Amino acid sequence: MGHPYIPNTREIREQMLDEIGVASIDELFADIPEKIRLRRELKLPRQMSELEVKRHVQAMQAKNKPFTKMLSFLGGGVWPHHIPPHVQSLVQRSEFLTSYTPYQAEVSQGMLQALFEYQSVVCELTGMDVANASMYDWATAIGEAVLMCARVTGRKKVLVPELISPERFAVLQNYASGPGLELVKLGFDWSTGQLDMSQLRAELGQDVACVYIENPSYLGFLETHVEEIADAAHHAGALFTVGVNPISLGMLKAPGDYGADIVVGEGQPLGSPVSFGGPTLGIFACRDDQKLVRQIPGRLIGMTATLDGKTRGFTMVLQTREQHIRRERATSNICSNEALCAVAAAIYTVSLGSRGLRELAEICAANASYAMKELDAIDGLEAPIFASPHFNEFTLRCTQPKLTIEKLNTKLLKREIQGGKPISREFPEFGETAVLCTTELHTKESIDQLVDAAAEAVGARR
């Protein structure tokens, strides 16, 4: 019998061996030293038929409770949104799905143009001129941005907000460790969460490579003194890097329009499923400045013409920055990236268009605003903990002394509601607090359900 994915049957393989004068298949492995040859079968689960595998994986995954089958208020780095079916059906087209990196431009125009369109969409959203064809995720994009800032400025100090996502900060620490960059956390105003401007100015010397902020922040509020931060950074000769949730850019000013030199972010909400946190899509964009563009990490797709100059086409450009040519002097080690998620992001974003993205952002923000107002009205709960404008995420503090945020979540879960992400371990100074997220998946009614369940959990009458 043949094998479904190995088309050459045993008979054909015998014939091939014969044709090339090899006595047996073992002869082709004779170069593996005796001592290290595996003399037994690998101990793996038994081989299964396609149907068995399907049932097995389905049954295993049925132990998960998808957020589509309950009410969930989780965000915090990946965010659930409705994905129009045509987005996934287009990226599943096997000419895209089963292609490798478009090294052969002539036979890969489709992927190259789609990625050029992704880069273009990212530039429109962020107000930058140049975007790469993707990084792994937001966290690694910050890491790469900080390394780039250090190369461009020749400096080693990096300023980040204390309220940066702790997971992203943990990744940044590892990326910054190679060249020994110094990461300094900047404090915040306790009532508003806003970056401490006086500390920023105090730390901003001639040794600072990069000032990084997140807008919206990890805790959901908007950083409002963005022009001042940009001016201060630039005055000291540092580069200003902003991290974003791209959906927010439907209603928020492009970071390029308030002075950002580099914009990073998480592109997953643009057309990729949450999928337990991966694959994700690292957004990376910068200004059209030769000093920056020469140092950008990752793949870049550029427009050009055929050699006869007659037809427009697309190709990978500035490859001399990359590892396969520059080796240890490359701007990054990245090779495989998240190209297909980038194509999904392009398709998703152009499906919405300018008006759609604005409306979507407005719905997400309006839902959060309503949820905050209703939750804050409950005795024993406080939302948000910062008096600042918010986008679609916000903090919820449990002030009822007998109730921890974890216990509140457990009670909500009994009502088929997944509450926010507890941050009491990450930021103990904020007490029993969680970060909640709303998107267009939520309705006024579903938020009311959360509010009712939360009121019951804290024992408040409404």
Q: Give the nearest distance from C-beta 381 to other proteins in angstroms.
A: 19
What backbone torsions phi and psi does residue 262 show, to the nearest 5 degrees? -135, 140
Decide: is 191 part of the binding site for other proteins (CB under 8 A).
Answer: no
Binding segment (CB under 8 A) for other proteins, from list 18-26, 152-160, 195-203, 448-456: 18-26
Instruction: Draw the binding track, 229-248, toward other proteins (x: CB under 8 A; -: no contact).
Output: --------------------
Q: Count Cβ atoms within 10 A of the Cβ of residue 58 and give its class: 0-12 exposed, 13-18 middle, 19 or more buried.
A: exposed
Q: Give the nearest distance from C-beta 380 to other proteins in angstroms.
A: 22
Residues in contact with other proteins, counted by CB under 8 A, come to a total of 212
Q: Looking at residues 292 to 311 of the shown chain, list those that interact with other proteins (rule: CB under 8 A).
A: 293, 299-311
Q: Which of 182, 202, 235, 325 binds other proteins (CB under 8 A)?
A: 325
Q: Looking at residues 201 to 220 of the shown chain, list those that interact with other proteins (rule: CB under 8 A).
A: none
Decide: is 18 part of the binding site for other proteins (CB under 8 A).
Answer: no
- Rounded CA-CA distance 150/332 in Å is 13
- Rounded CA-CA distance 323/311 in Å is 30
Q: Is the Cβ–Cβ distance between 78 and 277 less than 8 Å?
A: yes
Q: Which of 226, 239, 398, 455 binds other proteins (CB under 8 A)?
A: 226
- Rounded CA-CA distance 280/274 in Å is 8
- Rounded CA-CA distance 299/319 in Å is 7
Decide: is 432 part of the binding site for other proteins (CB under 8 A).
Answer: no
Q: Give the nearest distance from C-beta 143 to other proteins in angstroms.
A: 9
DSSP H or E run through 263: strand 262-266
Would you list the DSSP string of 358-415? HHHHHHHHHHHHHHHHHHHTSTTEES-SS-S-BSSEEEEEE--TT--HHHHHHHHHHT
Binding segment (CB under 8 A) for other proteins, from list 151-159, 314-322, 376-384, 450-458: 314-322
Q: How many residues does the chain have?
A: 462
Q: Looking at residues 35 to 94 of the shown chain, list those that interact with other proteins (rule: CB under 8 A).
A: 35-38, 41-48, 50, 52-54, 56-58, 60-68, 70, 72, 74, 76-78, 80, 84, 86, 88-94
**What type of residue is 361?**
A
- Rounded CA-CA distance 434/427 in Å is 10
- The nearer residue to other proteins, 328 or 429, going by C-beta atoms, is 328
Q: Looking at residues 98 to 127 of the shown chain, list those that interact with other proteins (rule: CB under 8 A).
A: 98-111, 113-117, 119-125
- The nearer residue to other proteins, 68 or 198, going by C-beta atoms, is 68
